[in-house]
């Protein structure tokens, strides 16, 4: 387990002491091949009827692909934002407002420009 992501011993202590009754966590675990995978674990503590013991019932799901897609989306958004920020501003008044007429195929920079009045 990646210790930066989760402390299973602390969670177990909280479950045993009654401070927690469920878990919903994501964390990384190292695969036997050496690479890291992301897991999402959802569990609930239940009281056993027959033996009066505590039972932890849950599921763990590999979410590595979803995490990878989310990271790629964030990277693409940052690249798009950087590209938009590098678009040069019109020299007339610094505004980025551009009007485009599809009928005449004519564009004019900045309709509010004092130099165009």
Cα 99 to Cα 104: distance, rounded to the nearest angstrom = 12
Distance, CA of 1 to CA of 111 (rounded, Å): 58
Element (H, E) at 80: helix 64-85
Domain residue extents for the chain: 8-62, 70-112
What stretch of H or E contains 57? strand 54-62
Structure confidence by residue, pLDDT tens digits, 47-65: 776 777 788 899 999 999 9
The fold of 8-62 is: Beta-Lactamase (3.30.450)
Average pLDDT value for the chain: 78
C-alpha 8/C-alpha 5 separation (Å) is 10
Q: Quick one: which of 6, 48, 36, 10 has its CA closest to 24?
A: 6
Please compute the mean of the pLDDT values over residues 6-35 and round it to a whole number.
Answer: 89
**Per-residue pLDDT band at 117 (split at 50, 70, 90):** very low
**The whole model's pTM is what?**
0.55
């Amino acid at each position: 387990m990646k210790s930066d992501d989760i402390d299973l011993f602390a969670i177990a202590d909280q479950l045993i002491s009654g401070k927690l009754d469920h878990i919903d966590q994501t964390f990384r675990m190292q695969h036997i091949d050496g690479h890291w995978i992301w897991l999402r674990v959802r569990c609930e503590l239940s009281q056993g009827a027959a033996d009066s013991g505590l039972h932890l019932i849950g599921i763990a799901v590999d979410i590595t692909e979803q995490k990878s897609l989310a990271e790629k989306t964030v990277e693409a958004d940052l690249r798009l934002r950087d590209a938009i920020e590098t678009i040069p501003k019109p020299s007339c008044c610094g505004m980025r407002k551009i009007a485009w007429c599809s009928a005449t195929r004519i564009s004019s920079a900045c309709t509010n420009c004092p130099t165009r009045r």
